[in-house]
Structure 1
Amino acid sequence: MTTEHSSTTFSDLTTIGVGGPIRTFLTPHTRDGVIDAVRQADAADLPLSVIGGGSNLLVCDDPFDGIVVRDARQDIRFGTPQADGTVAVNADAGCNWDDFVAATVAHGLEGVEGLSGIPGTVGASVVQNIGAYGQEVASSVAQVEAWDRQAQSTVTLETVQLSFGYRMSALKASMYDASAKPSAKFFPTPRFVVLSVTFRLHKSEEGTVGYGQLAKALGVRLGDRMPVAAIRDAVLKVRAAKGMLEDAHRYGIPAMAGAKRADTVAAALQAQRGTTGTDGPDFNRHSCGSFFMNPVLDAAQAAALPQDAPRFPATLPSGAPGTKTSAAWLIDHAGFHKGYAVTADAPASLSTLHTLALTNRGSARAADIAALARTVRDGVEHAYGIRLVPEPVVVGLEL
């Protein structure tokens, strides 16, 4: 069964709450339904957007004259523990990511607890190779089942074929002909549309605290072992303090109904109320999360950084050693502080809690977000000679 929704806009479906009206919005409830919806768009040569939680997407204000597909399947299947303590967990692409993390923690499994609270879906997690607090999806993925739009067949992709990198995968790369240059054939949806993901997690009530900020929040040392449930709770609190969670009120609108489990929505609303002290919207959460990727620099670029700029070992796309620095640090030290807006009355601003989030303060349009993004990017480039690259998929806008 596939449901077709009328009068839906991208502002209804994205965490930042901007974007124009959609010609056709479909929510298939079966695997075949997902494939048929994708084939329908490709056969008619219509623009196709397969959307997850809408957290990594910035779409222009113009009408989208194509088909938007959101997988409505949310099943999670747990295997039996193996001799080495690993457990295979298979989840439908449409499963809400934080619902998935909550389920794995409840089953006493270690591997993705540090990724708690990241908005989106299981399918989108592998496209973006989401990561936070010392973990990346790439570390836990065993294989991905996908629909190959070019070959018109289903395929199983092993980790070596997925070519995971920093906020990158072969899936995401298929949308671009070059860096930030959308493919004429596969954009804004990859060649491979994820149908399900199999993870390899570990049977353990404890996980490793792999990030300094998280260790501080837990009052432990980096590398200590803690109950996975305690790590998850700490991650959610740290993310909430920075506004890096989605506004749970979004699941109350018709276009989002059923996209997240009712019990986890209720828990998120309660936690949000405790953080903000109000039942109203939290505009710091009306964002794409981290808008710019942390730059990975070569030796010459790293040497030109100010002495107090953050530096972390990293690998350049060429495979050579590099240095990662903090986009948030660059933005702040270039003069764009928390709450910065292009004009005093602008409807878009940097979050008042985190400089890396561009936020919709209630009435912003995509053009307002784009204007803010360009101003910040150009200011950082002028100050440090480093051109920040947006993390979200940007559709119909020139940044």
Structure 2
Amino acid sequence: MAEIAPARLADLTTLRTGAAPERMLDATTTDELVESLRDTWSRGDEWFVLGGGSNLFVGDEPFEGTVIRVLTTGIERLPSPHPGRVRLRVQAGHNWDDLVAYTVAHGLAGIEAMSGIPGTVGAAPVQNVGAYGQEIQETLVEVDLIDESTGEVQTVPASELGLGFRTSVLKHHYGGAPIRRAVILSVTLDLAEVGEAGRPIGGEQLRRALGISAGERVSLADVRERIRATRAAKGMLLNPDDPDTTSAGSFFQNLIVPETVAAQLPPECPRWPVEPDQDAATVIPLESFDGYVPPARTTRPDVKVSAAWLIENSGIRKGFRLPRSRAGISTKHALALTNRGGATAGELAELARYIQARVHSEFGLLLQPEPVLVGVEL
């Protein structure tokens, strides 16, 4: 554990906001990370961990607590119990895109469509990151974490993380606390060994993004290259020379709404069904079982609605700025709020509230922020 002179969070986050906190610790090994967290918790400090700073929106006032920078790195290759697969245990501070590059270089499939996503590996399960039809929950086996309530290190299977659309039991949602306050130390993934040869792409969403037809064979390297190019064209690939990337990525989440609500939106609004769990089990206690099994309930699926479409069709275009503001919508992607140079958190929050109000006024839906907000109110 190394206590360092606190750095401005504006220099450590991709939205470029935030003053220096009261206290800052660097953890470069798992032991240092565990020690830093236990020490901070024993002091009773307010705290948060900082990885790549790409999903964080920090307020203008100094954070009165401890910020722990997770700088652990490393990839360990492990056997998988499944033929033709390999497991990787990756340290929480490892750069996510560097991990994807490693898997592609070694012919391991399962996360290649998530190329170019900023941030660290430890943050990926918290958000259940995904892109172009892939999500980390499809390959995640387990995580090692340390729980604030006990200070103990545990190995937790993916099934206990409550993984859903951009959420988990570890995520701090706006307006609420996480169900479980814990910090991920390492992540274990189970990936398919496919080598360098091309292979058919199963997911329709990924095929559309790659511009290929069903049955067309594409190598992992080609998938990665095309996805990174697509993200760059949308301003979603970090680039110091592109002000559209000075953002937290998609600032607002796509909405999950009942089918009846989606039906009231204009037909041209993009939407995708969220399939219900077809394998959900009905549990009947043995002592009360009388031979009757109730019929399965049929439910209409919820629908995912495009937040970007709602924003643009509420009258807010790419590149929009409020008067005299240094915050603006990306010129490439309506979902990205960007710091155009020296913007305060207050300016970005003002723009976010304006967007929420316009969408709510036009469509009756309230957009929710995707980044973790620290010292900021919307």
Q: TM-score, normalised by structure 2?
A: 0.89
Residue 66 of structure 2 aligns to a residue whose secondary structure is strand
Change (3 A) 1:283 1:210: farther
2:229 maps to 1:237: yes
* AA matched with 1:337: R
Give the aligned partner of residue 226 of structure 1: 218
1:349 equivalent among 325, 328, 333: 328
Give the aligned partner of residue 160 of structure 2: 161
Q: Which portions of structure 1, spanning 4 or more consecutive aligned residues, are displaced by more than 3 angstroms?
A: 80-83, 206-219, 222-225
1:388 equivalent among 364, 367, 372: 367
Length, aligned pairs only? 356
1:329 equivalent among 309, 312, 336: 309
Residue 240 of structure 1 aligns to a residue whose secondary structure is helix
2:75 maps to 1:95: no
Distance 1:396 1:80 in 2: 43
Structure 1 residue 62, shift from structure 2 partner: 0.3
Give the aligned partner of residue 290 of structure 2: none
Structure 1 residue 315, shift from structure 2 partner: 5.3
Residue 70 of structure 1 aligns to a residue whose secondary structure is strand
Residue 64 of structure 2 aligns to a residue whose secondary structure is strand
2:276 maps to 1:282: no
Structure 1 residue 377, shift from structure 2 partner: 0.8
2:287 maps to 1:297: no
Structure 1 residue 284, shift from structure 2 partner: 0.1
Distance 1:234 1:167 in 2: 23
Structure 1 residue 218, shift from structure 2 partner: 4.0
Structure 1 residue 73, shift from structure 2 partner: 1.3
- Aligned positions of 1:226-265 closer than 5 A: 226-247=218-239, 249=240
| Structure 2 unmatched runs, 5+ | 278-298
- Name which of structure 1's ranges 216-225 and 109-118 shifts more when overlaid on structure 2: 216-225
Structure 1 residue 9, shift from structure 2 partner: 1.4
2:352 maps to 1:365: no
Change (3 A) 1:70 1:320: farther
Structure 1 residue 5, shift from structure 2 partner: 2.9
Change (3 A) 1:217 1:168: closer
Structure 1 residue 13, shift from structure 2 partner: 1.1
CA RMSD, Structure 1 to Structure 2 (Å):
2.1
Distance 1:356 1:43 in 2: 39
Change (3 A) 1:204 1:18: same
2:189 maps to 1:199: yes
**Higher relative helix content:** 1
Change (3 A) 1:30 1:165: same
Distance 1:324 1:204 in 2: 32
Contact 1:111-1:207 at 8 Å conserved across structures: no
Distance 2:36 2:200 in 1: 41
Contact 2:113-2:134 at 8 Å conserved across structures: yes
Contact 1:143-1:159 at 8 Å conserved across structures: yes
Per-residue CA deviation, residues 258-286 of structure 1 (Å, 9 max, x unaligned), is: xxxxxxxxxxxxxxxxxxxxxxx311000
Structure 1 residue 69, shift from structure 2 partner: 1.0
- Aligned positions of 1:265-280 closer than 5 A: none
Distance 2:209 2:184 in 1: 35
Give the aligned partner of residue 175 of structure 2: 181
| Bigger radius of gyration | 2
- Name which of structure 1's ranges 105-114 and 203-212 shifts more when overlaid on structure 2: 203-212
* AA matched with 1:182: G
Structure 1 residue 111, shift from structure 2 partner: 0.3
Structure 1 residue 45, shift from structure 2 partner: 1.1
Residue 201 of structure 1 aligns to a residue whose secondary structure is strand
